[in-house]
Amino acid sequence: DAGVIQSPRHEVTEMGQEVTLRCKPISGHNSLFWYRQTMMRGLELLIYFNNNVPIDDSGMPEDRFSAKMPNASFSTLKIQPSEPRDSAVYFCASSLDRGFTEAFFGQGTRLTVV
Amino acid sequence: AQSVTQLGSHVSVSEGALVLLRCNYSSSVPPYLFWYVQYPNQGLQLLLKYTTGATLVKGINGFEAEFKKSETSFHLTKPSAHMSDAAEYFCAVILNQGGKLIFGQGTELSVKP
């Protein structure tokens, strides 16, 4: 398996634009996590899904952020409109058995909002 | 409320010296505990985990950690540091049956020659 695949790897956008980050989890995994990493706040859990259903989105910072998982092989994290403070590295991770065994991380998307 | 606390955002050791990275957690139920490592410009990868059973857990690259319930700790150790161990290390906990995986702030390990 190719592992968790995130796209794009890098994204530079202007303030106010819509940004969509994509994630393909490992086949057969039933849990998917979105994290944001910054120097100031560390690694924050934004939202996680189990069997394509959002279980906890309490970490989503504002209504500008939304996440979907239309099927077991694809998830998106959307920011609309984007702001400079959204600049961060966004990681997607997937796991079997809700992360109790191991969460596998993608390479991340480095987002810069100017 | 902070569920995982890592003491020391940056630890520096000499090559061959003992590595000790500290992690304390707060949980009202038996936790599942993890250590992950992140190399520059990469995602995180699992070093080791504690679920149930033996409290001393061995992981990859010579690392181990001991779950101490009385101290609510899960410190990571390695007897002899290698230059390739330089990375950022994250302690993590799953708080409930729902599988919410929460990470500490991370500790950056530097290894001096």
Write the residue in B45, B100, B103 that is nearest to A43 by C-beta.
B103
CB B11 within 8 A of CB B109: yes
Choose the weakest-confidence range: A27-36, A40-49, A95-104.
A95-104
Strand duo A109-113 + A10-13: pairing: parallel
pLDDT in tens, A82-111: 999 999 999 999 998 766 778 899 999 999
Give me the mean pLDDT over the B5-32 stretch.
92
> Which residues in chain A touch residue B106, judged by CB atoms under 8 angstroms apart?
42-43
Give me the mean pLDDT over the A10-17 stretch.
97
Write the residue in B45, B90, B100 that is nearest to A43 by C-beta.
B90
Q: Tell me which residue of B90, B76, B58 sits closest to B19, measured CA to CA.
A: B76
**What are the structure tokens assigned to A36, written together?**
């944001």
Tell me: pLDDT of A21 over 70: yes
Which of A26, A43, A100 is the best substitution to test chain B (most B C-beta atoms within 10 A)?
A: A43
In chain A, whose CA is at the least distance from the CA of B98? A98
Distance CA B4, CA A76 (A): 28
Distance of CA A84 to the CA centre of its chain: 18
End-to-end CA distance of chain A: 36
Distance CA B71, CA B74 (A): 9
pLDDT in tens, B62-104: 999 999 999 999 999 999 999 999 999 999 998 766 677 889 9
Distance CA A42, CA A61 (A): 14
Q: What is the pLDDT of residue B64?
A: 97
> Which residues in chain A touch residue B46, judged by CB atoms under 8 angstroms apart?
102-103
Which of A33, A100, A104, A107 is the best substitution to test chain B (most B C-beta atoms within 10 A)?
A: A100
Q: If you count them, how many residues does chain B have?
A: 113
Q: Tell me which residue of B101, B78, B105, B107 sits closest to B32, measured CA to CA.
A: B101
pLDDT in tens, B30-69: 788 999 999 988 889 999 999 888 899 999 999 999 999 9
Alpha helices (H) in chain A, listed in sequence order = none
Q: CA geometry: angle at A57 spanning A56 and A62, to 5°?
A: 165
Write the residue in B44, B49, B102 that is nearest to A45 by C-beta.
B102
**What are the structure tokens assigned to A76, written together?**
């998106």
